Amino acid sequence: MVEFCVLASSSSGNCSYLSTGKTSVLIDAGLSRKETFDRLAKIGKDPRSIDAILVTHEHSDHVCGLVRIAKHLDIPVYLSGLTAQSIAWGEYQPKVELFQAGASFRVGDLDVNSFTIPHDAVDPVGFCFRAQGLKISVATDLGYMTDSIRYHLRGSDLLLLESNHDLEMLKVGPYPWSVKQRVMGRNGHLSNDVACEYVRRHLDTTVSTLILGHLSENNNHPEIVRLMGSQALSGRELFTRLVVQEPGQTSEVFTY
């Protein structure tokens, strides 16, 4: 049985849980150790069952709890070499497993494929996981959808995709103009419009669960995302369940 749960997905913190029953991993560690362990406990998971942490990139909302969690559990951290150099490890020497962006590797009985994403980090990646005939993909923190990303997401059964901001809310929102330009740029974050255009034109018929996540607390609203996502799916003959991952919340445990 394969289980997936989004413990958190927003600019305040990102972390997901994936388990095959034999291997359990965290994807990113953007919550404190206490908050991560509390959220795992709420879904009935013992933190001591975690075998590894996989890191997409070095921004604080993806790694702020990384060092403490990895040290407490004494587990390996999988990340690219450039990303590893960008993290403040302090005196702690983690069990680091380095990979090159685009590489495939195994963690227990999980087959992992990494792929490059356009974001303003040193070497950001997304991940596709295969286990027991299923494919689970995670693609957040990307400025636009490249042909390569669309290729890697093909055949997914569950997809966690960024739908970060509403363009009009961002334009009139509280951020300084320089930050607005960064978010809207090709190395920033996916808008609702771009995410839903992908859903409308390219989402694979294999996707049974689409999770739209990494919503901005200041420049988006879950109901806008839900409406736009539903409209994008309505024109497709898909049997896809839409889930909007609200900031600050933990998702249900998706079981296959």
Mean of pLDDT values over 83-101: 94
What is residue 101's predicted lDDT score, i.e. its pLDDT?
97
Q: Can you list the positions of beta strands (E) in the chain?
A: 3-10, 13-19, 24-27, 52-54, 76-80, 95-99, 104-107, 110-116, 125-131, 134-139, 158-162, 209-213, 241-244, 254-255
Query: Which residues fall within 8 angstroms of residue 161, CB to CB, at 6 or more apart?
Result: 139, 140, 190, 195, 198, 199, 210, 211, 212, 213
Q: So where are the chain's domains?
A: 3-255
What is residue 93's predicted lDDT score, i.e. its pLDDT?
85
Rounded distance between C-alpha atoms, residue 256 and residue 252, angstroms = 13
Tell me if residue 146 falls in helix, strand or coil.
coil
CA angle 110, 85, 180 (to 5 degrees): 90
What is the architecture, at CATH level 2, of domain 3-255? 4-Layer Sandwich (3.60)
Mean of pLDDT values over 160-171: 97
Tens-digit pLDDT profile for residues 188-232: 999 999 999 999 999 999 999 999 999 999 999 999 999 999 999
| pTM check: above 0.95 | yes
Q: pLDDT confidence of 81, banded at 50, 70, 90?
A: very high
Tens-digit pLDDT profile for residues 109-118: 999 999 999 9
Q: pLDDT confidence of 51, banded at 50, 70, 90?
A: very high
Token look-up 């950001």 returns: 124
What is residue 211's predicted lDDT score, i.e. its pLDDT?
98
Is beta strand 13-19 parallel, antiparallel or unpaired with respect to 24-27? antiparallel
CA angle 155, 143, 100 (to 5 degrees): 65
